[in-house]
Amino acid sequence: MRIQLSDHFNYRKLLRFVLPSIAMMIFTSVYGVVDGFFVSNFVGETPFKAVNFIYPFIMVLGSFGFMFGTGGSALISKTVGEGDREKANRLFSMLTYISALLGMAVGALGMFVVEPLAKALGAEGDLLSDSVLYGRIILAAMPAFMLQQEFQSFFITAERPKTGLFVTLAAGCTNIVLDFLFVAVFKWGLVGAALATAGSQVVGGIIPIIYFLRPNKSLLRLGRPKFDGRALFKTCANGSSEFFSNVSMSLVGLLYNWQLMRYAGEDGIAAYGVMMYVGWIFVSIFVGFSIGTAPLIGYNFGAKNQAELKNLFRKSLVVTAVLSVGMFVLGEVLARPLALIFVSYNEGILEMTVRGFRIFSFQFLFCGLAIFGSGFFTALNNGLVSAIISFLRTLVFQIGAVLLFPLVWKLDGIWASVIIAEFAAATLSVVFVLSNKKKYGY
């Protein structure tokens, strides 16, 4: 039975609606994990470190697609809730075409910037050359990567989360199969891993274009766009929190690499890379839930249905709390088995990773609330509050913690810094939720 944005949601229906978006985010986060697994086990230790070293920069550039997706989804779902389907399709078309053009420009710029940036962060020798090689191949697929990020939100707004999941599964399977062929069978090394990821991004970005250009039964369809500067600004404002969140996380990742080079050398970067792979998968569950609920919240906000808005808000808090505890327990229990997948060949890096991840896992108790809080205000078209939460959570709190705590606890201080940052962000989210509840009626 088709679930519509206008439905009343109990827990079962809510979970059925958001599960595809959670799965989409999990499979998207798996891309880097798959590359890391094949590079670590079939290419070598230095190329594995290079992938971890340069990937945050690639994610910074790809964050524009996430901004257009989340910000545009909030505006489009609100417009649908107001009853103007024709305008919603015009907005959808405009944002899709603009993000494709922006992806071309950003990818070309990244080609020139990647080498001096890697040098500035301390890479040299094989680490430098491998980082630049991997980065430039991935950047060639940047337009498709941005579209892929964008359509993860648009499929949900179009009431087609299962179609979005199918596209993401197709892209993920493409990555896995090509990694196996290019790296394990053909022995193309780091080039093969980069080509596999780029190929999967092309699949994830092009299939949705074909789907929305053809006649379909969803709420959205690509057509002739009409430029709307005000709507574009509103989209960027709505999505600025998610944009800053992704950019900040990537910048902080670069800062972590810089600190790890000082306190633990290249082994620290390898350990941190494993934690990031697993952490991305865990956090993607919270992000997927936030993305999945956003069109529901935006629709009911536009339709002025405060009763359903309150219902969605309360059920979302309960689900977030259950997920938070579950992610923490899994992180503690699976620390060693997960680390063994990537670095079983080096006992020193393995022990560093296990110890670090058991500290690092405490963040999952708090980050879900902060992620949902930011996404909730994006869905309400309150880009300012959402941006404040994301900016402080992913940049200010993180930078302050990762610079200060290692001075006291050295390497353990680096692992613990994310816990303090997420706790502060969760507290801030609670403050904003309480101070705005009368305004929105949730």
Residue 45 has pLDDT above 90, yes or no: no
Q: At what angle do helices 161-179 and 189-213 cross, to 10 degrees?
A: 160
- Which amino acid is residue 29, in one-letter code? S
Instruction: Give the model's pLDDT for residue 66.
Output: 82
Euclidean distance between CA atoms 175 and 200, whole angstroms: 5
Mean pLDDT of 52-75: 85
Task: Give DSSP secondary structure letters for 101-152.
Answer: HHHHHHHHHHHHHHHHHHHHTT--HHHHHHHHHHHHHHHTTHHHHHHHHHHH
Mean pLDDT of 16-41: 81
Residue 3 has pLDDT above 80, yes or no: no
Residue 1 has pLDDT above 80, yes or no: no
Euclidean distance between CA atoms 344 and 346, whole angstroms: 6
Sequence-distant (≥ 6) Cβ neighbours of residue 426 within 8 angstroms: 366, 367, 369, 370, 373
Task: Compute the 3-state secondary structure of the chain and give helix, strand, coil in percent, each to the nearest 5.
Answer: 90, 0, 10
**φ and ψ at residue 159, rounded to 5 degrees:** 65, 35
pLDDT in tens, 113-164: 999 988 987 788 998 999 999 999 999 999 999 999 899 889 988 988 889 8
Residue 42 has pLDDT above 70, yes or no: yes
Sequence-distant (≥ 6) Cβ neighbours of residue 149 within 8 angstroms: 28, 62, 63, 65, 66, 69
Instruction: Give the model's pLDDT for residue 25.
Output: 82
pLDDT averaged over every residue in the chain: 89
pLDDT in tens, 369-390: 999 999 899 889 888 898 889 8
Euclidean distance between CA atoms 377 and 395, whole angstroms: 19
> Residue 174 is encoded by which pair of tokens?
């493409």
Where do runs of H (alpha helix) occur along 380-396?
383-391
Mean pLDDT of 327-353: 89
* Residue boundaries of the structural domains of the chain: 14-440
CA atoms in the 13 A half-sphere facing the CB of 337: 5
Instruction: Give the model's pLDDT for residue 196.
Output: 94
Residue 32 has pLDDT above 70, yes or no: no
Confidence of residue 54 (pLDDT cuts 50, 70, 90): confident
pTM of the model: 0.73
By percentage, how much of the chain surpasses pLDDT 70?
99
> Residue 58 is encoded by which pair of tokens?
């690639």
pLDDT in tens, 198-239: 999 999 999 999 999 998 888 899 998 889 999 999 888 877
Spatial contact of 50 and 131, defined as CB atoms under 8 Å apart: yes
Mean pLDDT of 69-75: 86
Residue 31 has pLDDT above 70, yes or no: no
Instruction: Give the model's pLDDT for residue 141.
Output: 95
Confidence of residue 329 (pLDDT cuts 50, 70, 90): very high
- Computed from CA positions of residues 258, 27, 172, 76, in that sequence, does the dihedral angle turn out positive or negative? negative
Confidence of residue 168 (pLDDT cuts 50, 70, 90): confident
Instruction: Give the model's pLDDT for residue 11.
Output: 94
pLDDT in tens, 133-144: 999 999 999 999
Residue 310 has pLDDT above 70, yes or no: yes
Name which residue leads in pLDDT, 253 or 331.
331
Neighbouring C-beta atoms of residue 325, cutoff 10 Å: 12
